[in-house]
Amino acid sequence: MLWGGRFKEMLDKKALNFSSSLKYDINLLHEDIEGSIAHAQMLSSINILTKGEAQKIISGLKQISEEWENKSWQADPDKFEDVHSAVESRLYELIGETAGKLHTGRSRNDQVALDLTLWVKKRCSLIINLIIEFQKTLLEKSSLHLNTLIPGYTHLQRAQPISLAFHLLAYVEMLERDKTRFEFLKNNLSQSPLGSGALAGSTLPLDRNLTAEKLGFDSPTGNSLDSVSNRDFILDFLHSCSVGMMHLSRLSEEIIIWSTSEWNFIKLSDSYTTGSSLMPQKKNPDMAELIRGKTGRVYGNYISFSSTMKSLPLSYNRDLQEDKEPLFDSSFTYEDSLEIMNRMISTAEFNIERFTKELQGDFSLSTDLADWLVNKGIPFREAHKIVGNVVAKLESDGKNFNTANLEDLRSVSEIFDESSLKCLDMQSSLEKKITLGSPNPQHVKDRIDFWTKKLF
């Protein structure tokens, strides 16, 4: 028992199992060793450790890291309550009593705060790269479908025609916001909590600036009480994962709809679909459904840990051990979902002609016709009413915009002339859009060029 000097009995085995976080915080092993090496170097610089002792400790720590990687040493969850005690115990086995000097001036409180900060910074970098790779895939698909017409929706009702490229680029924009959140979080993790001790610093002349510099931070934190109990960055990370998963879930929902026989718009690769245990003909979009389903779990992780934090008095409380399971689960789930979604989209095929004829016959160009009336001096509210009457008449006559003629339009309003019929041409409808951010093919192409320069 590393920290049991005042106790006469060993911790109950059931209590050890209940309180152990080792099976989760073993993910922090490399960060724990990284922080310990910096701490040992600092202790040597202030003559708490001799250079020989520091080198002995550092060599032992590096050996533990190698042993864990090649699986020649594994931390036993029946013996240790966390990764810190497991590493220190193994260090004792390797180098003897010198290992006991490593913890000088350090608490598990500032130790775990440091480990988590380093881990989250690294994970942000990994996630940012995954987001960029997915954005690139969406850009490549968009460039192939500048002229692929699909219906745009509001309220899941057909609204106005757009291109598939325009639709996919909307997700590139979403992903950029996701990436920005992780970049902000990563850049904001610029202060090192190491040296804060349990809550009130140390009477030893610890050089916090040195350890901060060695670990890649701009400076040490300014208040030890806050430093050891701060988990805001984990909540920020969990929130960022939640928003990112929400975006993937929205795309998953569309993929699921698009892959139905009723839509017949997307064909997913066999590599990312599954069959039915009963119906031989089935090809199910299970990966998209799983991403949609796992989003709820990631949401739950954020709610779970924010609920844990809401009533904790300063400073450290053991409740904070509950930060690790939601943190690791959300990170791994989001990372896997990004990678699977990227592969699923990159291997998918789209039915280019699916909506070409169908859109020609519907009323999705009604707003274009109303805009034509506005250009003739009609107030928009009146133009809206006139076009609504046109739609009602055509429907009652069993017609649509594709079969309408000038007489049909003039029977509702004499203001219509031959030029109004040009508003009903689906093929040129996107080119008529002139505002920035619209699905005008040239604007879409410009946006693809913008993102290509930014991401490649």
Catalytic residue set:
155, 276
Among positive and negative, which fits the CA dihedral 270, 275, 279, 280? positive
CB atoms within 10 A of CB 144: 13
Residues contacting residue 85 through CB under 8 Å, at least 6 positions apart? 2, 3
Q: Which are the contacts of 429, defined by CB distance < 8 A and separation ≥ 6? A: 161, 365, 368
Among candidate residues 117, 120, 84, 107, the one with its CA nearest the CA of residue 196: 107
Angle (CA) 193 197 202, round 5°: 115
Structure tokens at 154: 């509001």
> Measured between alpha carbons, how far is 439 from 428 in angstroms, rounded to an integer?
11
Q: CB atoms < 10 A from the CB of 359, how many? A: 20
Q: From CA 122, how far away is CA 34, in angstroms rounded?
A: 13
Residue 197: other Cβ atoms inside 10 A: 21
* CB contact at 8 A, 199 and 221: no
CB 298 within 8 A of CB 245: yes
Tokens of 86: 């497991």
